[in-house]
Structure 1
Amino acid sequence: MKLLRRKEGPSLDSRLAALLEAAELAEGRLPEEAVSGARAVAERAGVRRTLSIDHTVAALAGATGSGKSSLYNALAGADLAAVGVVRPTTSAAQAALWDGEGSGPLLDWLDIPQRHPAASASDLSGLVLLDLPDHDSIQVSHRLEVDRLVELVDLLVWVVDPQKYADAALHDRYLRRLAAHRGVMLVVLNQVDRLPESAVDRCLRDLRRLLDEDGLAGVPVLPVSARTGAGLAELRALLNDRVAERKSWSTRLAADITTTAARLGTPEETPAGQAMDRTLTAALCEAAGVPLVVEAVAKGHRHRAVVATGWPVTRWIRKLRPDPLRRLRIGPMTPTGGPTGGPAGELLPGRAQAAPSGQSTGSSGQSAAPSGHSASGQGFGAEVVGRTSVPAASAVQRARVETAIRDVGEAAAADLPGPWAAAVRQAARSRSQELADAVDRVVATTSARATRRPRWWRAVNVLQWLVFAAMLAGAVWLGGLFGMDYLRLPQPPLPTVGVVPWPTVLLVGGVLAGVLIALLSRLAAWAGGRRRARRTARALRTAVGQVGDDLVLAPVRAELDRYARFTEALTRARA
């Protein structure tokens, strides 16, 4: 079925789809009443447009004694509704049909069992006129029936009388709330035959003023007398025009969408990208012990350089000192023995206990990378990166992290409506429990790269051993000469370098060369340690910042994006 299009805006289909999208996006953010109301309107609209659009359902609604039933009978041309002085006289809605063929499913949906063919002229062909109970009836079921049908009918005809046209119950409960439905609304001032002509004009002007204050400017107001027939022709002509247009149903649905979208909120421009506070990364780095790790990287580099390139005679002494990085359990893990230098499963100081069998478990419940891969996916042969033993964050450091997370949420939510601002603040904290483990893993992974041995260490080590071999050869040579002299054996020819014998050159030169190479290597290791510490610091800030982005900023951005899509859908629905 092809739907009518409004020339000035999007189609009814697209607005309904936008309303449903907005309701889905608002789920859990806005009050359930508003969200369920939007879904109900969308469902109701979907049903109504599948039913007969050749019929227009108009309802006569009003207060007790306003003469609805009399007007209903006068329009229908027959006494279909009971009229009397005992109130209320109308207990259930009933329908008068002008050419009612095909209206059965529509009336079934409206739940109107009493249906009568109209006896008046057929110029209102396609009209289904309902006589509703009194909206101020003492019977609660009557008021509920009015409220139900007021939400469903295509055209509302409010019948008022000179005594109660200013009734607050009518204006506050219905007219003011239905201001967006003024395109499908008529107001009839009935029983004007009881007033002098001058009083009728005053009543009409006052009624017009009240309607304008209700936001119903432009709604037709007709003076009618159901008893004398005054004004009935004008009312019938106006109803005929609305029925002939066959648009009241779509206009009603469009007004329902507009009203419901307004209850979801007022479309606001999505806040510009917030400058997420950089103090979050700084606070996470401090809490993760990054300064301590960076210092350990520099010291560890120098320590390992001395072990690898020092003078072979004295380098073993350095091995007696603890490796600063190994003390923090930073570096490769063997698949069977846990982190290098410690047994698997050892309780990490200030951290959670490591998982057995070479696995570490994060807060998400997933085990770390299997043997042969680091936590970041970088291979280390047959080793994996384990948990560190960096001291746990202090209370002050934890407080700084919490403050930084709160500041991120507050900055992002600054320009949002209350419910959405609360959702953004909650999103910033939603994964904060995962931060400690995630940051520890990236510290371990990123810092492990700082344990890689530079290639020049191997070359210097080979040179040191060659120099040591030359020194040892000189020592053995001199020892042999000393033994021959002790035994009074004839001395062999002794080559010299100038006046210095070669054995002495090899021994003394080997010692001096080894010490000199060790000193130069230590100087290079000191400079290399500083460079490696700077690179590690940058890498750690980047990695920790990525964790903060993934666990804090990404949920905030997702919530802001959700709000942006909600605002866009709401704008389309209200168009």
Structure 2
Amino acid sequence: MGTETAEEARGALRTRLGALRELVGLSRTRLEEQVLAEAGRVLEDAAARERLPPVYTTVAIAGATGSGKSTLFNALAGAQLSEIGVRRPTTATAVSCTWEAGRHEVGPDAVLERLNIPARARRRAHVMDAALRGLILLDLPDHDSVDTAHREQVDRLLRLVDGVIWVVDPEKYADAVLHERYLKDFAGHAEVSLIVLNQTDRLPRDAVEAVLDDLRRLLDERGVALGEHGEPGAAVLAVSALTGDGVAELRAQIGELAATRTVAARRVAADVDGVAKRLGPLYVADAAGAPDGLTARAREEFEDRLAAALGARAAGQAAERAWLRRADRACGTPWAQVVRRVAARRAERRGEPPALAARAGDGPPPPPVVSRAGVDQAVRRLAAEAAEGLPEPWGRAVREAAREGAEGLPRELETTLEQHPAPPVPRPRWWSAAASGQAFLLAAQFLGVCWLLAALAGQPVVGRWLPLALLLAGSVGAPLLAWACRAAARGPAAAWGQQEEWRLRRLAADRGHSQVLEPMAAELLRYREVRERFVIAASPSGGAEFPEDGA
């Protein structure tokens, strides 16, 4: 039945129950109440059992009508304490027999009160057996009784007792009700269970072993671990309560159970195991490890998609073109500027949108337009990646957090763009120098033209080649200077466009982080917490082998 001490068993159980309690508390907003009802019941029963004297062990004798469980109860007690007879069902209410734990120990009344055993049905053992000190043995009504109240009483007591002795007879040992409704559900409680084949006096000696073998086969098919070859599990015994054969061995087995004083803790631990097994799919979807969640790659791809929905790259390219237009205006030839202004006025007269008119002239680039469809797609893909591998309730919570954040994200992005408009294009000092150069070259052209006109009018001039040289120098030098300035502006313009793109990416990333990533990360953190609590609750050792995160 195990070698751990009573204090070790209770210590590990307290750790598991604490983790289960935290698990239930963290899960209430994510799981339906009925899903957590069984866990809540186990916690309540465990707390009630913890308040009772640990020196007492309650063991119930359960069986079908006519299996001889009351006769076996009397044989173990050494007296006629429970009514037996041919009238069925004979046992109408549970009867208890108590072996006092000791003169100075607390009494069993609190335990019997919790079991709701009436005072008239409480008995004390007539013969004190030191091996059975602290044992409270119960004779339950028939689990297949025609009286519904009897069956309900059996179900209630089976939920509260520490150990169970299942009594079967040679005729109904394979009864489907017993195996499917009780033994199969109690498969996880094998360490606190004994399976007794009673009335062996009705079988030939060689038939007893055959029935026992078939009984073991049926138990194995229902997943009941058998305590054979030193392994933990339920012991299978053959007795005859009528003749006394095997009763001493059964009494010894019960004495071993009571002596350890760990049966109560192991029973509650088995209840926790059952709860953890049924809740497992809701907390651990992938046994290989914890889901990836919001990885760095997923975050980066989300920011990229969000920036694309915001038009960050297009805005950066527009900022680059705006820089080049400003450079052309500051460093271009005066004649080109005149042409540009005329084109802008014509665009306005044609009624073109302000953005087109501004581009024809030299206005700032239009603000980027947020694509709501792009934002929704970015959020959906992020939520799908983050929820991959999560159990459905938690995957649904992550997707819901993302959806709620996505509802207000486009408006948040638009508001952020309004509050943080694009900065004005700076004016480098060399633009002023280039503008001065263009003014000087324009003056040279003007002087050359005037000089030539004066010469053509017959006015005396100094050298006819000089005005031609001035005109040629101004006419050729201005476009060359504008071309050189345009080439010099490409690098700063590209850097300015990249800076604007990254500015918008940061704005989009900040809004996406606060609106979507943070709520999703909070849900994933809650899931990691409940997963850690679940692993501790599901671990027989209280999670000692999972020091990190329980994954």
Structure 2 length as normaliser, TM-score? 0.73
Alignment partners' CA distance in 2, 1:263 and 1:249: 22
Q: 1:142-161 deviations in whole A, cap 9, x for unaligned?
A: 22222222122111111111
Alignment partners' CA distance in 1, 2:192 and 2:150: 23
* Mapping of residues 383-532 of structure 1, within 5 Å: 390-391=368-369, 393=371, 398=373, 401-444=375-418, 448-449=421-422, 451-454=423-426, 456=428, 527-532=491-496
* Mapping of residues 229-308 of structure 1, within 5 Å: 229-265=244-280, 267=284, 268=287, 269-272=289-292, 275-276=297-298, 280-302=302-324
**1:138 aligns with one of 135, 141, 146:** 146
| 3-state SS of paired residue (1:276) | helix
Q: Is the 8 A contact 1:93 1:130 kept in 2?
A: yes
Relative distance call for 1:25 and 1:326 in structure 2 (3 A) is: farther
Q: 2:118 corresponds to which residue?
A: 113
Relative distance call for 1:102 and 1:327 in structure 2 (3 A) is: farther
Moved more, 169-178 or 269-278: 269-278
Q: 1:39 corresponds to which residue?
A: 40
Q: Is the 8 A contact 1:290 1:443 kept in 2?
A: no
Post-superposition offset of 1:442: 4.7
Alignment partners' CA distance in 1, 2:6 and 2:401: 41
Aligned letter for 2:410?
A: A
Q: 1:567 corresponds to which residue?
A: 531
Post-superposition offset of 1:391: 4.0
Post-superposition offset of 1:554: 4.5
| 3-state SS of paired residue (1:57) | strand
Aligned letter for 1:408?
A: L
Q: 1:509-548 deviations in whole A, cap 9, x for unaligned?
A: 9999999988876665565333211222233334434544
**Residues 1:216 and 2:205 are matched in the alignment:** no
Q: Is the 8 A contact 2:383 2:398 kept in 1?
A: yes
Alignment partners' CA distance in 2, 1:164 and 1:3: 37
Post-superposition offset of 1:129: 1.5
Alignment partners' CA distance in 1, 2:507 and 2:156: 59
Q: 2:230 corresponds to which residue?
A: none
Q: Is the 8 A contact 1:16 1:42 kept in 2?
A: yes
Alignment partners' CA distance in 2, 1:316 and 1:90: 113
Aligned letter for 1:440?
A: E
Aligned letter for 1:65?
A: G
Relative distance call for 1:555 and 1:392 in structure 2 (3 A) is: closer
| 3-state SS of paired residue (1:36) | helix
Q: Is the 8 A contact 2:57 2:135 kept in 1?
A: yes
| Count of residues in Structure 1 that have an aligned counterpart in Structure 2 | 489
Q: 2:134 corresponds to which residue?
A: 126
Q: 1:170-201 deviations in whole A, cap 9, x for unaligned?
A: 11112122222111101122222222323222
Alignment partners' CA distance in 1, 2:55 and 2:126: 19
| 3-state SS of paired residue (2:428) | helix
Post-superposition offset of 1:121: 1.4
Aligned letter for 1:261?
A: A
Aligned letter for 1:570?
A: F
Post-superposition offset of 1:139: 2.8
Q: 1:5 corresponds to which residue?
A: 8
Q: 2:547 corresponds to which residue?
A: none
Q: 2:459 corresponds to which residue?
A: none
* Mapping of residues 542-553 of structure 1, within 5 Å: 542-553=506-517
Q: Is the 8 A contact 2:226 2:236 kept in 1?
A: no
* Mapping of residues 306-385 of structure 1, within 5 Å: none
Q: 1:69 corresponds to which residue?
A: 70
| 3-state SS of paired residue (1:61) | strand
Post-superposition offset of 1:452: 3.8
Q: 1:219-254 deviations in whole A, cap 9, x for unaligned?
A: 112222333333222222222222122111111122
Post-superposition offset of 1:55: 0.4
Post-superposition offset of 1:558: 4.1
Alignment partners' CA distance in 2, 1:551 and 1:532: 29
Relative distance call for 1:99 and 1:442 in structure 2 (3 A) is: same
Q: Is the 8 A contact 2:331 2:438 kept in 1?
A: no
Post-superposition offset of 1:64: 1.9
Relative distance call for 1:327 and 1:152 in structure 2 (3 A) is: farther
Q: Is the 8 A contact 1:443 1:544 kept in 2?
A: no
Relative distance call for 1:467 and 1:284 in structure 2 (3 A) is: closer
Relative distance call for 1:309 and 1:136 in structure 2 (3 A) is: farther
| 3-state SS of paired residue (2:155) | helix
Aligned letter for 2:537?
A: A
CA RMSD of aligned residues (A): 4.6
Alignment partners' CA distance in 1, 2:6 and 2:57: 15
Alignment partners' CA distance in 1, 2:221 and 2:32: 29
Q: 1:353-375 deviations in whole A, cap 9, x for unaligned?
A: xxxxxxxxxxxxxxxxxxxxxxx
Q: 1:535-570 deviations in whole A, cap 9, x for unaligned?
A: 222333344345445544444444444444333333
Relative distance call for 1:535 and 1:83 in structure 2 (3 A) is: same
| 3-state SS of paired residue (1:60) | strand
Q: 1:359-398 deviations in whole A, cap 9, x for unaligned?
A: xxxxxxxxxxxxxxxxxxxxxxxxxxxxx9644537xxx1
Unaligned runs of 5+ in 1: 329-340, 342-387, 476-495
Unaligned runs of 5+ in 2: 228-233, 357-362, 447-461, 540-551
Post-superposition offset of 1:39: 2.7
What is the identity percentage for the equivalent residue pairs of Structure 1 and Structure 2? 39
Alignment partners' CA distance in 1, 2:166 and 2:107: 27
| 3-state SS of paired residue (2:167) | strand
Relative distance call for 1:298 and 1:54 in structure 2 (3 A) is: same
Alignment partners' CA distance in 2, 1:540 and 1:140: 72
**Residues 1:186 and 2:194 are matched in the alignment:** yes
Relative distance call for 1:325 and 1:105 in structure 2 (3 A) is: farther
* Structure whose residues are more often helix by fraction: 2
| 3-state SS of paired residue (2:89) | coil
Alignment partners' CA distance in 1, 2:326 and 2:77: 103
Aligned letter for 2:48?
A: V
